[in-house]
Chain A
Amino acid sequence: MMEFFRLLKWELFRMYARPRTYIGFAVFLAVEGLVLFLLSRPRVQGALQNWIEKVAGGFDQYFSGLTLGFILVGGTVFLLGAPFLSLVCGDIVAKESEDGNLRLLLARPVSRLKLLMVKYVSCQIYALSLFLFISSSALAVGIIERGWGGGYVVMTPEMPRVSIFEWGQGVGRFYLMPLFLVVSYLPLTSFAFMLSCMRIKPAAATIITLAVVMADFVLANFPLFPLFKEYRDWFVTPRMQMWVYSQYQDIPWPRVIENWAWLIGIGLTGFVLGWMSFERRDIKS
């Protein structure tokens, strides 16, 4: 076990020493800035004010740093979450193979399974750090813009009703979001990882992952396919939206656990398929 953590430490060290790792963080910051700019437009401000006053009461009280932070997180994760995570997870094995570093690692006394486990866990830690960064930076921007304190009001299309929290409770709920997001994105990160384990170019792993997720999302949500609605549970992307359960007034734990079981199951299946493919592969220049 100690060996696993030692390898994990160096895998994470490598990942975070790589300049391109931070491109994702920088782009998320830029998109948060863009969403903030759009939110400050008078018409958007007006609509937001009307809505908050209707559902929660005082605009100044409930359009707080937390509320603004949530809007920024929702917007940026929806826009960029899938591309960046599939990029990192699609790269993690395939890029090493392409660069020739994989042979250096496998010339060492380490099993292929252990190597993949280290890389898979690293992907999930990266996802957590990315979501924590997005949440924290969004909250920081929100506090700078709207000040400290106030209430927290949340509503998304998936939610049955508006959730309203006071500041302290709201911060707790706000920081449940990155944890739920990591589990929600397990199918995506695992699918990209699975492809990365195969004899495939890193870019192909990323593009195929995005294509599959996009197809799943369109089939499950697009109005042109109303007949599919009955089979919505068969699709993965509706389950990936379960992260919003963390913002419900009362978290629906049975549904959370049911979705977690699905998401973790799909994620582990992706890992096992990737491992089986990797284990059978001849690693050659």
Chain B
Amino acid sequence: MPTGMWRRSCNFRLAADGLGDYLIEMLTVSHVSKRFGRGDKPAALDDLSFTVNKGEIFGLLGHNGAGKSTALGIMLGMVYPDEGEVSIGGVSVQKQRERAMRKTGAIFEAPNFYDYLSGWRNLQVLTAFSGGVAKREMEEMVEWVGLEDRIQDKVNTYSHGMRQRLALAQALLPRPEMLLLDEPTDGLDPDGIVEFRKHLFALRNDFGVTILLNSHLLSEVEKTCDRIVILRKGHKVYEGNCRGLEQERDNYHFEVDSWQALAGVVEKCGGRTRKDERIVEWSCEEDIAILVSALVEAGVKVRQVTKLEASLEDLYMKVRGEKEGGT
């Protein structure tokens, strides 16, 4: 496990930058737009703005081609935005990329390394670009990600999960304050996903690392992230927590003898029904018992009522539907 030096070091560096612990916003994306190719092609990103606070795990969610990887590329200074700017720890990536990258570690989808070198050599090569890292620090990191038994083996003998652990180790050397992850759990088996998630929580909780997670896996984002941005065709369609903002209605699953009779009663009482899913949308402010009583009075046999917790999938489908309806 990396020592407490990490946390002290992060604070020291922030203090040295004159930012101290007063800095709340770790990552700021301001009005970023990007269009690839000719002008008549749709924008890969259109006026994207959001902030990630220090110590947050933040999700960037969207379908394939939504603009997530473009956004990540811009955050790392590898893709040039047509407009807008990204700052990491108060340092502009577009104006002072090298300084901003000193605070940042990154993992990309399908981690690629120099396969003909050992894991250890790969770490040495990559950390040389950050000014080098002490052997002891590297050993601690290798142990923390659980690669100590295989680190001297060539990477071409590693499984996908081991490559991902090596990717995490390289991203964390030398001690970033911000971690940018591009589809990090893609291709991992269930054990690997759980293990990776544990590492992320440990990084945030124990070492105060801010994490931006770029993914199209709804369940993963839901279990990991404090807040999210949903992208659709380059546009931000939602920013907030994973449950959605103000929910006007709760969803209930009903098992009844006649859905037609139920629908009539629900409509009279001011609710809505989704026949195919056997779901009733009912105002959050009113007790569901009122509806059940009304149904019983109308002679509808109610066999079971189950309240459905709002999921990220519901939210995603909702914002997607709103966006498509609006366009």
A residues in contact (CB < 8 Å) with B: 3, 6-7, 9-10, 13-14, 17-19, 99-101, 103-111, 280, 282-285
Contact = CB atoms under 8 A, between A and B. Distances in A.
24 contacts: A7-B129, A10-B128, A14-B117, A17-B114, A17-B116, A100-B110, A101-B112, A103-B78, A103-B106, A104-B108, A104-B113, A104-B126, A104-B170, A106-B76, A107-B101, A107-B105, A107-B108, A107-B171, A109-B98, A109-B99, A109-B102, A111-B98, A282-B78, A283-B73
Contact of A17 (B36, B73, B117, B126): B117
B97 interface: yes
A108 B125 contact: no
A209 B99 CA distance: 37
B253 interface: no
A284 B78 contact: yes
Most buried by B among A3, A10, A108: A108
A109 B101 contact: yes
Contacts of B116: 17-19
A101 B104 contact: no
A85 B106 CA distance: 33
A103 to B, nearest CB: 6
A284 B71 CA distance: 11
A199 to B, nearest CB: 12
- In terms of DSSP, what is the predominant structure of the interface of chain A? helix
B130 A282 contact: no
Q: Which 10 A/B pairs are nearest by Cβ-Cβ distance?
A: A108-B129, A100-B112, A107-B106, A283-B78, A109-B101, A282-B79, A109-B98, A10-B128, A109-B102, A110-B129
A269 B224 CA distance: 50
Nearest to A105: B129
Contacts of A282: 36, 73, 78-80
Contacts of A18: 114, 116
Contacts of B70: 284
